[in-house]
Each structure stands twice: as C-alpha cells, then as structure tokens.
C-alpha cells in the first residue's frame, strides 16, 4: 500500500479544525446535537433537513464532508445520494447515519459508494471525527487520481467513449484551422451539436444508459462527416463540427438541416423508447468571433439559450416510455403494436416492498407484459433501482428493476420468473 492510501486508511494528516461538515437530518434536535458535538473540535457545520434544502446548501458551498441520514421523512438516503452524484461531479465524501444498525444496510451503503456508515444510537465524537478524517483523506486521494486520469484522457487523441477527437486534439486542430483561415483570408465555421436529453437520461436511467445514448448519437454524427471536415467531443454531451471549406450560406444551411434530420431518432433503453433530438448552434469566423475561443463562447451561450427555451419538462413529455401505454398518446387504437409479448392494459392494484423497509407502498399497475409494466404511485416517492412488487392481493412478490421514473410514474422490468 502506498503512502497516500495508507494515510487515507487511517485519516492521518487530516486537520479537522476549521473544516466544514453538512448535517442532513429531518430531526431538528438531532441536527443540533451533532452540530454541538462537532463544534467541540472546531468543525464548522451546515444544516439541511431534506434533499431540497441540501441542494440549496451545496449550490452555495461544497463542504468537506456530508453526514446524511438514511431515512429523511419521505426520502431515501440511498436514492438522494445517487441524485447528488449526478448533479454535483465534485460531491464531497458522504457518510451515512442510520438508526437501522443491521449489517445488510451497512453493506448496501458501502456498495453504493458511500464513504462510511455510522449508527446514530450512542454516537460518540471520537467515532464521528475518525470517520470524517478517513473519508476526507480517501476523497483527496481519489480526486487526485481522477485528475491524473482526466489529464491523460485530455492528452489522448481520441475520446474513448465516442471515437471522436478528444477535447485537447479538437482545440489543437481548431487553432490550426483558424491560423490557416487568417493567412488565406477565408472563413471557417463551427457547428455545436448537443444531445439535449443526455442529463435527463442520467437522472432517470443512470450514467451507463446515458453513455449508450451518447455513443448512438456520436455514431450518427460520424456517419455524416464530410471528407474535408472534422468533429470532436467538446464536453460531456456537446460536439463541435468544424468546416473550413464550402462555408457559403447555402452550404452551412445544408449541414444544419442534415444534422437536425439525422440526429432526431428513437433510442431504446430496456422498456423505454426515448425520442432523441439535437440542439444545434452555428458560429462563423469574423461574424461570431475572431478566435476559436470567442466562437466557442458564443456557441455556448446559444446552446444554453436553446436549453432554457425547451423548458425542464419538454423532452420528458416526448418520451414514449412504454410504447402504446395510452391510446391517445400513441396515435389511437389503430397504432401498430410494437411489443413482442401481449400487454394487459387494465389497471390492477399492487404493493411495493423495499428490501430495507418493512412497510408496503400502495400503487397501481397497468400495461403489464411478460417483460415489465408501468406503475403509478399515490404520490411522488424516491425508489431504489431494484425493489419487490406484488400485483393483486393473490399474487406473489417479484423482484423488478426501475427503468425510468418521472414524477409518480415508473417503468419497471421483471428480473425473475413469475411465481
């Protein structure tokens, strides 16, 4: 074990005096109790009672560590942790606190990437400070390692996910094109192409499925690159297509129209059919900036304006999560059935059981098929990726996987055979 990981294992070298810790608990008295304990060792505390207030805190300041309660009123700590990782790439290390001291819950916490797990009952200041020190040290080591990996990826010529030019290579080629255009007194243009639904897929399906959609999107761009043009990945969901020939108004319009057509398509994730669409912005040298940096700044503003104009819910409403779910949404009763197995459209009562909860959650099931179903909750509720469901009173519990989740509607696939 190297020195850095040794320090992370025992928390040595970490000074807590002046560090900040955010306490997330819906019990005001317990938050105050923890805050008083941490104040004894000069740790500055921030407080949040639920997910919404926690996001507000993190938007203003990222603490050195987060103490997160497992059960926040109607919110589940595991689900909230997943959402935080998607929203905040630089999320501080999270330690879970729980009144549930079962080994099963602790193991699940570690499997889901939390840095430590502490029982709330009889929690001593020594236990908290040791856990915080170890978590901060480990986070520092992992952040340093991630920065090294990112630096290596930036230096690579091609992006390993999409097969496009990497950001570093793209920047180099843009500088060469810009210099050549100045020497020849010609115009070059950049098309910024963004997969509008990428972050929404991350939130509702996970990063792995979002990356699959991005690969599909990038493949369609590659298939339409002209011989004299080139394209690279600028950031997580945006590509820059560069043209230094045939940059007439008609030529640029043709490229925009072609990409708008070719990049509007359906992408399937498990039981869901998602409607993908691009956001496209155009910048020409001289008109929208003299340098690549100025053109990139202009394009970024244009894409952000398009994103704001779409609104937060527009893309989700265009997703046919379970094709044929509603006759009105799918074009009426004459719409061709696109499933391989028979689907039951009748509403059925059902109960959800979470492996870590003893209680059951009432819901309604429709569009049941051999592969999955669509369920509606009585109110919006955060659910883990896997849970149990019992359809009708006489049915048995089956293990299912959550494929998508929008408000109180959830698409599931069955992970076992019906019993």
Whether residue 221 contacts residue 193, with contact meaning beta carbons closer than 8 Å, is answered with yes
Domains and CATH numbers, the chain: 3-152 (3.40.50.2300), 157-317 (3.30.70.270), 348-414 (2.40.10.220)
Please give the pLDDT value at position 136.
93
The answer to whether the Cα torsion of 366, 367, 372, 376 is positive or negative is negative
The residues, ordered by sequence, that sit 6+ positions from 12 with a Cβ below 8 Å of its Cβ are 6, 133, 137
Could you report the per-residue pLDDT of 215-224, keeping only the tens digit for each? 999 999 999 9
Which is more confident, 419 or 47?
Answer: 47
Could you report the per-residue pLDDT of 310-344, keeping only the tens digit for each? 765 444 444 433 333 333 333 333 334 444 444 55
Question: pLDDT band for position 346 (50/70/90)?
Answer: low
Could you report the per-residue pLDDT of 177-206, keeping only the tens digit for each? 999 999 999 999 999 999 988 888 877 777
**Rounded CA separation 214/236 (Å):** 9
Please count the residues of the chain.
419
Could you report the per-residue pLDDT of 250-295, keeping only the tens digit for each? 999 999 999 999 999 888 876 677 888 899 999 999 999 989 999 9
Please give the pLDDT value at position 416.
66
What rounded mean pLDDT belongs to the chain? 81
């Amino acid at each position: 074990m190297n020195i850095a990981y040794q320090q992370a294992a025992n928390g040595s070298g970490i000074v807590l005096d002046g560090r900040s810790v955010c306490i997330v608990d819906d019990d005001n008295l317990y938050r105050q109790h923890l805050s008083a304990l941490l104040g004894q060792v000069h740790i500055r505390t921030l407080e949040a009672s639920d997910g919404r207030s926690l996001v507000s805190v993190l938007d203003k300041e990222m603490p050195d560590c987060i103490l997160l309660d497992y059960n926040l009123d109607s919110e589940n700590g595991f689900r909230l942790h997943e959402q935080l990782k998607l929203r905040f790439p630089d999320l501080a290390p999270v330690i879970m606190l729980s009144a549930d001291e079962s080994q099963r819950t602790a193991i699940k916490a570690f499997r889901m990437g939390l840095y430590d797990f502490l029982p709330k009952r009889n929690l001593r200041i020594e236990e908290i400070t040791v856990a915080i020190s170890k978590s901060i040290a480990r986070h520092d080591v992992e952040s340093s390692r991630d920065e090294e990996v990112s630096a290596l990826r930036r230096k690579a010529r091609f992006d390993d996910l999409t097969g496009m030019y990497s950001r570093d290579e793209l920047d180099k080629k843009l500088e060469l094109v810009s210099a050549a255009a100045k020497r020849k007194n010609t115009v070059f243009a950049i098309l910024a192409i963004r997969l509008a639904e990428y972050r929404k897929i991350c939130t509702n399906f996970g990063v792995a499925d979002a990356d699959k959609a991005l690969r599909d999107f990038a493949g369609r761009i590659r298939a339409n690159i002209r011989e004299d043009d080139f394209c690279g990945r600028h950031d997580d969901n945006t590509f820059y297509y560069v043209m230094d020939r045939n940059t007439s108004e008609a030529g640029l319009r043709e490229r925009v129209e072609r990409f708008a057509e070719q990049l509007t398509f359906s992408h399937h994730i498990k039981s869901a059919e998602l409607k993908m669409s691009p956001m496209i912005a155009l910048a020409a040298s001289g008109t929208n900036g003299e340098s690549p940096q100025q053109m990139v700044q202009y394009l970024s503003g244009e894409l952000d304006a398009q994103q704001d104009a779409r609104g937060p819910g527009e893309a989700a409403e265009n997703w046919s999560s379970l094709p044929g779910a509603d006759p009105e949404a799918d074009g009426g009763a004459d719409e061709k059935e696109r499933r391989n197995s028979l689907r039951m459209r009748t509403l059925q009562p059902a109960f959800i059981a979470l492996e870590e909860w003893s209680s059951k959650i009432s819901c309604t099931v429709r569009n049941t098929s051999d592969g999955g179903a669509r369920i509606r909750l009585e109110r919006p509720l955060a659910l883990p990726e896997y849970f149990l469901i019992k359809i009708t009173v006489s049915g048995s519990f089956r293990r299912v996987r959550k494929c998508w989740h929008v408000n109180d509607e959830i698409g599931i696939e069955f992970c076992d055979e019906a019993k």
